Amino acid sequence: EAQVTQNPRYLITVTGKKLTVTCSQNMNHEYMSWYRQDPGLGLRQIYYSMNVEVTDKGDVPEGYKVSRKEKRNFPLILESPSPNQTSLYFCASSLSRDNVYGYTFGSGTRLTVV
């Protein structure tokens, strides 16, 4: 089944403790992206990657890091999480540069930072 897999689905952590949210896709998509979803703010892009070793900042990159060492994986790293990073995070991938086929989203990771 074609899908984007995120782990974990739920995570509670403490301020300052480094964490990684993994994202993997099995569709050989070149484009991958991370979004965060907050009530009243919709989906905001954190980082995206056009291909292996090619990443760029989205609208809200502060406090996050990403890497793209393999085509299928695009982990999101929070080196020193803070409570304002409590959010619902989505990884997405796309086959084409021009979005003709749309994004495929993962099921989300609900992160709570206390």
Partner 1 sequence: QQQVKQSPQSLIVQKGGISIINCAYENTAFDYFPWYQQFPGKGPALLIAIRPDVSEKKEGRFTISFNKSAKQFSLHIMDSQPGDSATYFCAASREGYSTLTFGKGTMLLVSP
By the rule CB under 8 A, 58 interacts with partner 1: yes
State CA 22 to chain mean position distance.
Answer: 8
Q: CA 33 to CA 44: how far, in whole Å?
A: 10
The answer to the question of residue 1 lying near partner 1 (CB under 8 A) is no
Site string for partner 1, 30-49 (x = CB under 8 A): -x-x-x----xxxxxx--x-
Is residue 8 reached through a cis peptide bond, with omega within 30 degrees of 0 on the bond before it? yes
d(CA 12, CA 111): 6
Identified binder of partner 1 from the candidate list 63, 67, 108, 112, rule CB under 8 A? 108
Residues that bind partner 1 (CB under 8 A): 4, 31, 33, 35, 40-45, 48, 50, 58, 90, 92, 94, 96-99, 102-103, 105-108
